[in-house]
Structure formats: C-alpha cells, structure tokens
Amino acid sequence: MNVQILELIDGAKAAKGLTVIIDVFRAMTVEAYVIQNGAADLIPIGSIDEAYAYRDAHPGTILMGERGGAKCPGFDFGNSPSQVKDFDFTGKTVVHTTSAGTQGVANAKNATQMLTGSLVNARAIAEYIKASGAEDVSLVCMGLAGVEPTREDTLCAEYIKALVEGTTFDLASGIEECKHTSGAKFFDPNNPIFPEEDFWLSVEADKFDFVLHVEQGADGLMHTIRKV
C-alpha cells in the first residue's frame, strides 16, 4: 500500500486511488457533526451560487458554509462545529460550501474512492484504509483556502498515515503546536468568527467511529454518506 500526503488544490487534482480530503479547521469536522446529528443528505458543493440555486430548487434545504471564515450571506450556518454540535438535522438536506475542504472534493477528479478527513474520525479512517486493500492512498491536506499549508491538516494526515502503518505518533504535541500556529486565531478574542470552542471540538481525536464517503449521485452532485 502506497500512502502519500499531498497538499492543497494541486494535491487534490493529483490525488489517485483511495483519497481522503482533509480539512480539520473546520469543514470536515463540521460535516462529521452534521451527519452524526441526523442529516438525511449532505451535499458538498464548490460555489456559493450553486448553493443558492440548489435551495431555490429545493425549498427547506439548509445552507452551511463560509468564505474567509465568515458565514456566507443568506446561509443558515457558518462553518463552525460549535454552532451545529447540538442542532438536530434529522431529515434535513444540507448543502455545504467552504474555501478549502469542499474545494478539495470538487477537484479530486481522479480518485477511485473519496472520504472526508478530520481528527474527530481519524482512527476510523485509518481502519477503513487498512481494510480496503487499496494500492494507492492519497491523503490531501487542504490547508488555508486550498492555497497555503496549515499545521492541523498536515498533522491529521501524518496521524492517519502512522495509524495505517502501525508507527508511533505524538498527536498531543502536534495539537499543542497547532494552538500557537494555524490554530492561534481561535484564541484571539478580537476574532469572533473563530470561537475557541471550535478549536477544541476540532482536535478531539477519534470522537466518532464512522467514515464519511463522498459519492456522486444520480443528480450529478456529490453526496457525503456515513459508513461504519
């Protein structure tokens, strides 16, 4: 099994085989909570205009997402796990668009299978990879807006790779490093779009025991599906 770590939009375009699109702060963490809380359908989508158009055609759809970290105009939720962790999404269709994570989904055209990746279900992802028998595995770190590497996404990829390969890994030190690097924005009281709680929810490793597949539906759109 060849496990490679790739970065950003170019990494998503280069990904092959079983591909994991990683966005710890915060897109794929949010998606795990939305699925855990009962969403009937979760659609990762590239553009804000596509999201508006989908809701116009399907009234009652929940729109969720951000640009520059802030909630998109007219959306129901931003991209914050603390906003959604206690919300009941049972039976709801959710359309999700972000600056990084969902852009990775949109650009990983050569993946034979696609999962979303975050620390909250990293061990489940690693177990799935080990059982898959895949020859090629691409762990794609989406970083900041898909153009700048970030410590938390690389950390998540390194952790998953270590779990797959059975090597030791100091996750706690990596999380501490994130507090002072790419996660520092969550501890800035003058930056309310990044609440501190989001940091802690995003680094709660192995909270969920499921993986999230992204599959193309009959409607031509990508859909995120929970699989144990």
pLDDT one-digit tens code per residue, 7-46: 999 999 999 999 999 999 999 999 999 999 999 999 999 9
Supply the pLDDT for residue 126. 98
> Mean pLDDT across the chain, nearest whole number?
97
Domains in the chain, number: 1
pLDDT one-digit tens code per residue, 61-84: 999 999 999 999 999 999 999 999
Cα–Cα distance between 172 and 155 in angstroms, integer? 10
Residue 142 binned pLDDT confidence (cut-offs 50, 70, 90): very high
Percent of the chain with pLDDT over 70: 100
Supply the pLDDT for residue 172. 97
Residue 156 binned pLDDT confidence (cut-offs 50, 70, 90): very high
- For the whole model, what pTM was predicted? 0.95
Residues 31/20, Cβ–Cβ less than 8 Å: no
Total length of the chain: 228
Residues 99/107, Cβ–Cβ less than 8 Å: no
Output the six-digit token pair for 11.
């990494």
Query: Is the predicted pLDDT of residue 228 greater than 80, yes or no?
Result: no
Output the six-digit token pair for 119.
């620390």
Cα–Cα distance between 113 and 78 in angstroms, integer? 27
Supply the pLDDT for residue 220. 94
Determine the straight-line distance between the first and last CA of the chain, rounded to whole angstroms: 22
Write out the DSSP string of 22-53.
E-TTTHHHHHHHHHHTTBSEEEE-S-HHHHHH
Residue 217 binned pLDDT confidence (cut-offs 50, 70, 90): very high
SS3 228: coil
Maximum CA extent, the chain: 49
Instruction: Tell me the average pLDDT across 159-188.
Output: 97
Report residue 124 CA to chain centroid gap: 14
| Domain extent at residue 22 | 2-227
Q: Which of 17, 34, 20 is nearest to 226 (CA)?
A: 34
Supply the pLDDT for residue 57. 97
Residues 63/73, Cβ–Cβ less than 8 Å: no
In this structure, which amino acid lies at residue 38?
G
Cα–Cα distance between 101 and 117 in angstroms, integer? 9
The CATH number of whichever domain residue 121 belongs to comes to: 3.90.1560.10
Q: Which of 113, 100, 115 is nearest to 46 (CA)?
A: 100
Residue 227 binned pLDDT confidence (cut-offs 50, 70, 90): confident
